[in-house]
Amino acid sequence: MKSTSIESLQPTALWHNFSKLNAVPRPSKAEARVTQFMVEFGKGLGLETAVDGVGNVLIRKPATAGREAASVVVLQSHLDMVHQKNTGTDFDFSTQGIKMFLDGDWVRAEGTTLGADNGIGVAAMMAILESNDIEHPPIEALFTIDEETGMTGAKALQDDWLRGRILLNLDTEDDTELTIGCAGGMDVTGQVSLDTEPPPAESTVWRLVLQGLTGGHSGMDIHLGRANSNKLMSRLVSKLSERVAVRLAEFSGGSLRNAIPREAQAIIAFPRSRLEDVKASIAAEEKVLQQEYCLTDPGLTIGLFEHSATMQVLTAADQSKILRVTDAIPNGIFRMSPAVAGLVQTSNNLAKVTVSNGRAEWCCLTRSSVDSERHELGRVIRVILEGAGAAVEFASDYPGWQPNPDSRIVALMRRLYQEEFASEPHVAACHAGLECGIIGAHYPGMEMISFGPNIRGAHSPDEQVQVSSVQKFWQFLLKTLAEVR
């Protein structure tokens, strides 16, 4: 069932707008088309619509009759989406709209990310803006850009743009959660020049491919113990090098800082006479890794394919350096929160490793709800990288969001959740990076909360959103708007 049927799902206004949004290419840092789309949407409704210098869009809608004196509510979601696709999927994110289909109670995409993160939030805001029969207070709908690769939209937000003092961020991925705090983050990147030389005489060149990992969101899924393709590929090449004179020519793994890397490949050279030994060693390592990750990454496979091109390889010393650094960089949980049971406090995602043309680059996203600890983990990674002669850069540092469990909006939404669903919501902080911390720095004292429907596999081609959960989320959102005073 393709996207034409998606629009007929309930609530139809939300799904119709989600389908329209997903027809617009909207990669992070290239949001000009979706910004224009949103500006035309707001102006087409006759609503006050503005766009700032970076591409954030603000649409204001007056209150429904009788609600004019209620507090102004800021609804906020981000316009950009993570672009990831499966190997072998023929899809151009820069020109094509997302191809959706219904799978039981879930909406998915054909071999790519779906864009439910944060497209469902955007679509919900659009549905409210164009409605004629939904009760609501004065609304400021804030659509930010570039949340996924630096939160530059939120960082560039004007301090005097918003009038509202209550913000509903629609970017949480579990419909039982009311998120009231999140981790901050920063990028740590290291680069180093390498020495290369021709491969030894009688060498044959092959491409080593590791794929089929589960991947996922580097914040929300980091505690699940899923495999990181960069770490496993480095381990694999190191193991091979212990048995055969393998020489590394290229290494590439991962593509996005906020996605757990799912695939990696290496170009290797080794004596032609040792081909069968290499194949046997790879098969043995594949079995070991499949056993280790049978629960988290059941699709893990390793393939070896002949590579016709002759190329330079790293010197033995630089190859050892590259593999040792990749092995040593921390990945996964660094520290659990001592204050909140089950919450990851600090982590690192070794998101990208690239070795090509005599240069190596490592890219990490380091997260923590404690700023000092995030910076300390960044220092540890810097020490490892600088030990290999790499130049290290810290960038895109953004603050965490300190919880305020006693705010009025938290009390209201906790009560409404209990009344609507006869259960207690999970009110907590999360390890993902949300824009609330940055927005709160621009607007001190603003009451903020984040919520949303069930989204699974965000930042990977396995991304899916639950239809029944979207209905629950929509019901809860409308009830909240009706009750805000």
Positions annotated as catalytic residues are 80, 147
For residues 32 and 149, the answer to whether their CB atoms sit within 8 Å is no
Instruction: Report which of 34, 40, 41 is spatially closest to residue 13, judged by C-alpha positions.
Output: 41
Instruction: Report which of 366, 351, 126 is spatially closest to residue 261, judged by C-alpha positions.
Output: 351
For residues 294 and 301, the answer to whether their CB atoms sit within 8 Å is no
CA–CA dist 310, 404 (Å, integer):
60
Instruction: Report which of 256, 221, 249, 226 is spatially closest to residue 93, judged by C-alpha positions.
Output: 256
CA–CA dist 174, 308 (Å, integer):
48
Quickly tell me which residue has 């001592």 as its tokens: 338
Enter the tokens of residue 350. Answer: 């070794």
Q: Do the bridges between strand 166-169 and strand 73-78 make them parallel or antiparallel, or are there none, so unpaired?
A: parallel
Enter the tokens of residue 322. Answer: 């590259």
3-state secondary structure (DSSP) of residue 354:
strand
Neighbours of 36 (CB within 10 A): 14
For residues 121 and 450, the answer to whether their CB atoms sit within 8 Å is no
- Give CA 85 to chain center in angstroms: 14
Measured CA distances, 353 to 228, 233, 255 (Å): 11, 10, 9
Per DSSP, 90 falls in state -
For residues 390 and 354, the answer to whether their CB atoms sit within 8 Å is no
84 contacts: CB under 8 Å, gap ≥ 6: 112, 113, 215, 255, 256, 259, 262, 459, 460, 461
CA–CA dist 460, 464 (Å, integer):
9
CA–CA dist 435, 117 (Å, integer):
13
276 contacts: CB under 8 Å, gap ≥ 6: none
